[in-house]
Amino acid sequence: MCGIVGGVTNKDITALLLEGLNRLEYRGYDSSGLIVLSKNNSFDRIRSVGKVRNLENILKAREQKISGNIGIAHTRWATHGEPSIDNAHPHISMNSVSLVHNGIIENYIDLKNEQLNRGYSFSSETDTEVIAHAIDFAMKSCNTLISSVQLAIKSFSGSYGLGVISSKYPDQIIATRKGSPLVIGIGTNGNYIASDQMALLSVTKEFIFLEEGDVAEIKIDKITIYDLNGNLVVRPIKISMLKAGSVDLGNYDHFMQKEIFEQPQAIRDTLESRITNDSIVISAFGFKAEKKFNKVKQVQIIACGSSYNAGLVAKYWLEDIAKIPCNVEVASEYRYRRPIILNDTLFVTLSQSGETADTVEALKAAKIINCNICTLCITNSAESSLTRLSDLTFLTHAGPEIGVASTKAFTTQLVSLALLACSIGKLQNTINRSQEKSIINGLKKLPGLIHKALHQEEKIKKLATRFQNKNSALFLGRGTMHAIAMEGALKLKEISYIHAEAYPAGELKHGPIALIDKDMPVIAIAPNDELLEKLKSNLQEVKSRGSQMIVFEDENSLIEPMEAMEVISITSNVGRITAPIIFTIPLQLLSYHVALSKGTDVDRPRNLAKSVTVE
Ligand code: F6R
C-alpha cells in the first residue's frame, strides 16, 4: 500500500528514485511522483497518474532535467482521494516541507479543520497533506527538522511511514514509521530510505529496520535515531541476503509467470535445513518451539486473502494429523470481535508480506485478550511487523514475490503448515515415526511433481481462451480441495476480472446449482482420495445441467470425459498433504492464461496492491 523511496547522496538521486519506484510498484500504481531539492534549495517536483512509466515519460519529455542530491519519491495506492495529479505524492506545505506517506491518518478531518483556521490551504483530497502542514507549523516552534517531525506526529492517529525533506534543512531526510514499514539503507555514497529493501538493492545490502515510533535523521554521512519516547537509540545493521537480480524478470514475460515456475525451487528452499534424516527439525520454528508445541491444545489461524486460503487447508491437516482443533478466520473480522482465546492456544498468523495491517492488528488484539498464548508467524519476510510481534517465526523462503497475485508464497505457506501439523503431531504422539517419514517423503517429492504439473501448461493455455467472453465461473472441490478451489477462484477474479466463486461440490445442490447453464464454466478438482466417488456424483449433477466443465484430475481418478468436459491429468496417486499443493498449479496457470487472453495487466491488476498495510 504505497511505496516510498528516498536518499541523500553525493550524486544525482533521480535515477535511483525512479529505479526504486519501479521496484516498489507492486505496492500500488494509482499515481507516482518524485521531488528533489535542486541546487538553489528549491523543490523540483513531478507527478503523474497511473504507472511509474508515465512518470518516466514525463521526465524524459522535460526540457530542463531534474537533478539534486536529496530527494523522495512515492508510488500510490489510493485510499483518500481518487488517483489524480493533485492527490499524488510528494505533497508540499508552504514551499518549506515536502513529504511522502504510506498509511492512513485517521483523524485528518479534525486536523484539517484546525489547519484551515490557521490559514493553511489544501490542494488535495488526501489525508497526507495535513502531515505536511503539521510539520510546517511545528517548524515555527522547533529549531530542527527532526524535532518538528517529532512534535507533529504526536497529533496523528493512524499509521504512517514518512520521508520528509525541507528546503530549510537541505542536508537531511527525516524518516519515521508507525504501523507501516520503513527501512534505512546505508550506502557508500550516501544513505537512503524505502518501504522495502528491494528498492535499494542496487546501492546497498546494509539495512536498519526502524521500530514502531522511531524517528531518524538521515544525512549523507550520519544516521541518528530516536525511539518513540525520544531516547537516542542504536538499531542493529542487518545484511540483506537478497540479490538485485532476484527481483528482475529474467526470461519471463511477467513476474506471476516467473513465480509460478519458481515453485519447485521455492519449495526446495523452504524445506532446506528443516528436515534431517527424514525427520522434521522442530527448532526451525524457533528454539522455544518444542516446549510450546508440546502444550498446544488448539490452534487459531489468522490471515487474509490467499494466506487465509492456505490456513483453511491447514485446518484439515492439524485436525487430521495433530488431532487438535483448529479455527481459521480472516483477520479483518477477527480483530474487531471479542473472541474467546483459551490458554494453550497456538496463535498462527500467515502472511507473505508480514505487514498486512489487519493481520498485524489481529495479532496485537489477541495478545491483549490472552497474554499467555504462544504466537507463531509464518511469513516470507524476515524483517516484518509480524516477526517482531511473534514468539516464534517460520520463514517460507519463497524469495521475493513481486506479482500481485500470490503464487509461490501460497504453496510455500502450505509446505510450512504441513511441517507445523507434522511437528505438533510428532511431539504429541498422534503420528508415529513411519507416518512422519511418509509425510516428509511426500514433501520432498513436491518439486518434481510440480515440475510435472507445469508441463500441462500448453493444454491449459488452450482452454483459457474459452473464458474470454465469460462473466462468471464456478470452482468445485471437496475437503482440502475446497480451499484450493477458493484459491483458484481468487486468482481468476483478481487478475482476469471474471467473477468466480468456489463451492464445496456437495453444497451445490443447496442453491448455487441454479446458476448452472451452458454459459457458466465449472472447474473441478478431482484428486484420487476417499471423496472421489462423491465428487463424481456431484460432477454428474453439474454436467446434466449443460455446463462446460474442466476437470483437473489425478491420473487414477479415471474421470470419464464427456461432451463439453475437458479432463486434464495433473498428477498420479499423491497423498493428502501433497495433493492440495500440486492441484494449485493448474489453477494458477489457468488464471494466468485467461488474464493474458483478456489482455489485463497480470502483475498489476486494477485496484490492488501487493502489501495491504492499510485497514
Ligand atoms: C491474492 C493475494 C492477496 C494476499 C493478501 C494477504 O493473490 O495476494 O489476497 O494473499 O492480501 O497478504 P499477505 O499474505 O501478505 O498477508
How far does residue 52's CA lie from ligand 1's centre (Å)? 22
Is 356's C-beta closer than 6 angstroms to any atom of ligand 1?
yes
- Ligand 1 contacts CB of residue 584 (under 6 A): no
Q: What is the DSSP letter of 179?
A: B
For the CA atoms of 328, 333, 339, 344, the dihedral, rounded to the nearest 10 degrees, stands at: 40
> Would you state the cell numbers that stand for residue 249, as one nine-digit string?
524478470
Q: What is the mean pLDDT of the chain?
A: 93
Q: Does the pLDDT at position 614 exceed 70?
A: no
- Tell me the CA–centroid distance for residue 276 and ligand 1, in Å: 31
Does the structure show a pLDDT above 80 at 460? yes
Q: What count of Cα atoms within 13 Å lies in the side-chain half-sphere of residue 381?
A: 24
Query: Cα angle at 615 between 6 and 111, to 5 degrees?
Result: 70
Cell of 464: 483459457
C-beta of 579 in contact with ligand 1 (< 6 A)? no
Q: Which helix (H) or strand (E) holds 131?
A: helix 129-139
pLDDT of residue 542: 81
Which residue would you say has higher pLDDT here, 128 or 27? 128
Residue 608 above 80 pLDDT? Answer: no
Instruction: Looking at the CA of residue 304, tell me the nearest atom of ligand 1.
Output: 6
Q: Which atom of ligand 1 is nearest to the CA of 306?
A: 10
Residues 335/307, Cβ–Cβ less than 8 Å: no
Q: How far is the CA of 277 from the centre of ligand 1 (A)?
A: 34
pLDDT at residue 244, rounded to an integer: 66
This prediction has a pTM of 0.81
Per-residue HEC secondary structure of 295-322 comes to: HCCEEEEEECHHHHHHHHHHHHHHHHHH
368-415, pLDDT tens digit by residue?
999 989 999 999 987 788 998 999 999 998 988 988 899 999 999 999
Predicted confidence (pLDDT) at residue 313 exceeds the cutoff of 90:
yes
- Find the range with the poorest average confidence among 43-52, 121-130, 312-321, 511-520: 511-520
Q: What amino acid positions are annotated as catalytic residues?
A: 2, 610
pLDDT at 405: 94
pLDDT exceeds cutoff 80 at 615:
no
Going by CA atoms, what residue is nearest to atom 11 of ligand 1? 305
CA torsion 12→18→19→22, rounded to 10°?
170
Answer yes or no: same fold for 3-247 and 455-615: no
Q: Which residue of 612, 613, 614, 615 sits with most ligand 1 atoms within 8 Å of its CB, as the best mutation to test the pocket?
A: 612
Query: Cβ(359) to ligand 1 under 6 A?
Result: yes
The CATH H-level (homologous superfamily) assignment of domain 455-615 is: Glucose-6-phosphate isomerase like protein; domain 1 (3.40.50.10490)
Question: How, if at all, do strands 326-330 and 298-303 pair?
Answer: parallel
| Beta carbon of 612 within 6 Å of any ligand 1 atom | yes
What is the arithmetic mean of pLDDT over 90-95?
97
Superfamily of domain 249-449: Glucose-6-phosphate isomerase like protein; domain 1 (3.40.50.10490)
Strand partners, 301: 328, 348
351 lines ligand 1 (CB under 6 A): yes
Residue 159 confidence class, pLDDT cut points 50, 70, 90: confident
Q: How far apart are CA 299 and CA 495, in angstroms?
A: 32
Q: What are the residue boundaries of the structural domains of the chain, listed by start?
A: 3-247, 249-449, 455-615
> pLDDT grade, residue 613 (50/70/90)?
low
CA distance 392 to 386: 10
Residue bearing the CA closest to ligand 1, atom 8? 406
Pocket test for ligand 1, best of 334, 351, 352 (most atoms within 8 A of CB): 352
pLDDT single digits (tens) 518-531: 888 999 999 999 88
> H/E element holding 434?
helix 433-454
**Gap from CA of 380 to ligand 1 centroid (Å):** 11
**CA end-to-end distance (rounded Å), the chain:** 10
Is residue 515 very low, low, confident or very high in pLDDT (cuts 50, 70, 90)? confident
- Of the residues 26, 307, 328, 358, which should be mutated to test ligand 1's pocket, given the most ligand atoms within 8 Å of the CB? 307
Q: Is the pLDDT of residue 250 over 90?
A: no
Q: Whose CA is nearest to atom 3 of ligand 1?
A: 305
State which CATH number among 3.40.50.150, 3.60.20.10, 3.30.390.30, 3.10.620.30 fits the domain covering 3-247.
Answer: 3.60.20.10
Q: Left (φ > 0), alpha (ψ -120 to 50) or beta: where does 27 sit?
A: alpha
The rounded Å distance from CA 488 to ligand 1 centre is 13
Sign of the C-alpha dihedral, residues 76, 150, 182, 58?
A: positive
Report whether 598 contacts 564 (CB < 8 A).
Answer: no
Whether residue 353 has its Cβ less than 6 Å from ligand 1: yes
Which residue's CA is the nearest one to ligand 1's atom 4?
Answer: 305
**Pocket lining: 405 vs ligand 1, CB cutoff 6 Å:** yes
Q: What are phi and psi of 351, to 5 degrees?
A: -165, 125
Whether 349 lines ligand 1, by a CB cut-off of 6 Å, is: no
Q: What percentage of the chain exceeds 70 in pLDDT?
A: 98
What nine digits make up the cell of 149?
517531525
State the Cα angle at 286 between 285 and 289, rounded to 5°.
80
C-alpha grid cell for residue 478? Answer: 471437496
Mean of pLDDT values over 32-54: 94
Amino acid at 73: A
And the C-alpha cell for 523? 472447474
**Type of residue numbered 242:** L
